[in-house]
Amino acid sequence: MGILNDLKVSRRHALRGIVSGVGVSLWLPVLDAMCNESGTAFAAGAPLPTTFGVFFWGNGIHPGTLWTPTATGDGDAWQLPPNLKTFGDLNLKADMTLVTGLDMMDAQFKGHGWGVVYVLAGGDGTICNITADISKSPYGNLPETSKGTQWKPTIDQLVADAIYVNEPFKSLETGILKYTGQNMGTASLNLAHIGPNMPLPPERDPAKLFNKLFGMGAPMGQGGLPIDVSNKLRRSVLDAVLNDAKRLQATVGSTDSQRIDAHMESVRSLEMRIPATTSTDPATPPASTCVAPKTPTEKAANLDLTQVTATSKAINKLIAAALSCNLTRVYSHLWSGARDDNHYPIIQLDTEHHALTHSDAAANAEAAQIEKYIMDQYADLASTLKGTSIGATTLLDNTILYGISDVAEPSSHVMKNYHIVLMGHAGGKIKGNRHYRKTGRKVTELMLTLQQVMGMKITSFGSWDKTSTTMPEILT
């Protein structure tokens, strides 16, 4: 829809009267009326918006029999390894692109704090080609200290910057387990960052996530205030807040100026979510693909680790609902953070995950069980997306999910042989049902390709392993 491009120009007016000139509420799901006859694209010929997701888990994987298929190629040429078995059970192999063998630079020993910087942001901004180069970065000593963070925007934010039009949320951050240890700074508690010490914290509480996504319809302010009055007053207040921000910005230095920019961006996003008209009751989204789910009753995972599966399912459903209602095009799910230290009573494991990876063979086997369990939850997310149709396609077909961990193999911390589980087809650009393996290639090459798949006109990416080499081997 050419409209989508026009919308970018004037976000404030974007969503008024889009469908046949009738004012609609801000939630603008992909309505069937907007699509072409086969339901595969908007009526004017532009493709349905592709979405981009990240699924991150901490502490890597154990390569070999549990994780690394012996064969590569397409379709029946390769089999799912045991730790990815549930994807097969849920009929998701055709939607998976497994990429193995990727390294971080010269594949040396390094830790979780550097790994998470690498796999989510491509480095900290200092050009490094070998691991030893990290010591010349002014931030090179900071990962795995209380000042650890991301120094560059994470990949989800880069994509969001590029593809955001006017969705209610520029990006959506969710999570399950919360790191409880020391010295990982903001980089283990949060996936998405827009800059150093500027995380976008994930929502781990299903009820709060529900409220954030679907609970915005109620009037605010004095009881009995009609909703359209409430909305007008809220907008007028936020306009004044933006004015104050602009004035303050003129008095500060460049770093604080950027913070004020981000603050204003946030206020504008909030303001845009306040419905502009009242011709439809904003509490009920228009009928179509957007079905507001029931209020969840599950608790945040860390409050009761024995219920973590239920929490995970609840959050997965909300992610799918958010995407089907076009509430966002970019989403990231922090299953567990870099160097995660939670234990898994749900599978009868009392020793925390990270400690298991630094122990004997029996403990490593238990760590591998945790990996399988996490992959089961990833499969549930993918399955939920697959089960949600939009037009003639599904959320899973229309997305690409970057499934990644901070380290490759966790016991040795040698940053070699990352296994990346991509799910989805990005609207047809990614074939799926493929295992691609080329040892020695770099994770940044994959990250570059994923960004290009999302339409970004970039030819290089990364600071650690800065690369212009793409990975067409994952494309259709």
Partner 1 sequence: MSCTSDAPSRSLRESGTRTASKPGSGILALAFTVVLGGACTGQIVGEGTSQNRNGTGGSMGSSGSGGSPSKPGSGSGGSTQGSGSGGSTQGGDGSGGSMQGSDGSGGSMQGSDGSGGSGTGGAGTGGAPPVPLNMGGVTLRLLTQSEYLASVQSLLGTLTTPMDLADDTSVAGFAEVGATQMSVTDTAATAYETASLAATTEVFADSKRWQTLVGCTPKADLSDACVTTYIKTFGRKAFRRDLTAEEVQQWLGVAQNAATLAGTAATGLSFATAGMLQSPNFLYRVETNKVDPTTGRLKYDGLSMANRLSYALTGGPPSTALLDAAAAGKLDTADGVRAAAAPLLADPAVVDHMVAFFSEYAQAQQVLAVSKSTTLFPTFTAALQSSMLQGTQLFLKNVVLAPGADVRSFYDSNQTFVDAKLAPIYGVKAPTTSGFSQVQLPATSGRAGILGQAAVIAAQSQPDRTSPTRRGIFILESLLCTTPPSPPPGVVTDLTVDTTLTTRQQLEAHRSDPKCAGCHTLFDPMGLALEHFDPIGKYRDTENGLPIDATGTMGTTSFDGEAQLATALRQNPAVLTCLLRNFYRSVNGRAEDDEDLDQILSLGETLSADGYAWTTFLADFVASDAFRSAPALPIMTGSP
> Which parts of 102-141 interact with partner 1 (CB under 8 A)?
108-109, 111, 124-127, 131-132, 134-141
**Shorter beta-carbon distance to partner 1: residue 45 or 223:** 223
Work out how close the CB of 49 gets to partner 1 at its nearest, in angstroms, rounded to a whole number.
19
From residue 387 to residue 426, what is the string marking binding to partner 1 with x (rule CB under 8 A)?
------------------------x---------------
Query: Binding partner 1 by CB under 8 A: which of 203, 298, 376, 406?
Result: 203
Token pair belonging to 325 = 């209602």
DSSP secondary structure letter of residue 295: P
Among residue numbers 286 through 305, which ones bind partner 1 (CB under 8 A)? 302-303, 305
C-alpha pair distances (Å), 457 with each of 151, 158, 324: 22, 12, 26
Q: Which amino acid is at 416?
A: K
**Residue 301: phi, psi to the nearest 5?**
-60, -40
Name the segment binding partner 1 (CB under 8 A); options: 28-36, 62-70, 96-104, 340-348. 340-348
Region of 21-29, 36-44, 92-100, 225-233 interacting with partner 1 (CB under 8 A): 225-233
Pairing of strands 399-405, 418-423: antiparallel
- Which residue in the set 251, 294, 297, 457 belongs to the binding site for partner 1 (CB under 8 A)? 251
318 makes contact with partner 1 (CB under 8 A): no
CA separation for the pair 340, 335 (Å, rounded): 10
Looking at the Cβ atoms of 3 and 274, the one nearer to partner 1 is 274
| List 45, 76, 360, 457, residue binding partner 1 (CB under 8 A) | 360
259 lies in the site for partner 1, by CB under 8 A = yes
Residue whose tokens read 């939920």:
384
Binds partner 1 by CB under 8 A, chosen from 180, 279, 460, 468: 180
Q: Does 240 bind partner 1 (CB under 8 A)?
A: yes
Residue from 2, 75, 345, 387 binding partner 1 (CB under 8 A): 345
Is the CB of residue 404 less than 8 Å from the CB of residue 119? yes
Q: How far is residue 337's CA from residue 164's CA, in Å, rounded to a whole number?
A: 26
Stretch that binds partner 1, among 70-78, 359-367, 389-397, 438-446 (CB under 8 A): 359-367
- 3-class SS at 199? strand
**The one segment of 7-15, 52-60, 253-261, 391-399 that binds partner 1 by CB under 8 A:** 253-261
Whether 59 and 341 have beta carbons less than 8 Å apart is answered as no
Q: How far apart are CA 180 and CA 413, in angstroms?
A: 21
Q: Which of 5, 10, 65, 359 binds partner 1 (CB under 8 A)?
A: 359
Paired tokens of 19: 């469908």
CA distance 105 to 129: 6
Over the window 140 to 169, marking each residue x when it contacts partner 1 by CB under 8 A and - when it does not, the resulting string is xxx-xxxx-x-x-----------------x
Q: Which of 200, 192, 187 is nearest to 145 (CA)?
A: 187
Q: Are residues 268 and 242 in contact, defined by beta-carbon separation less than 8 angstroms?
A: yes
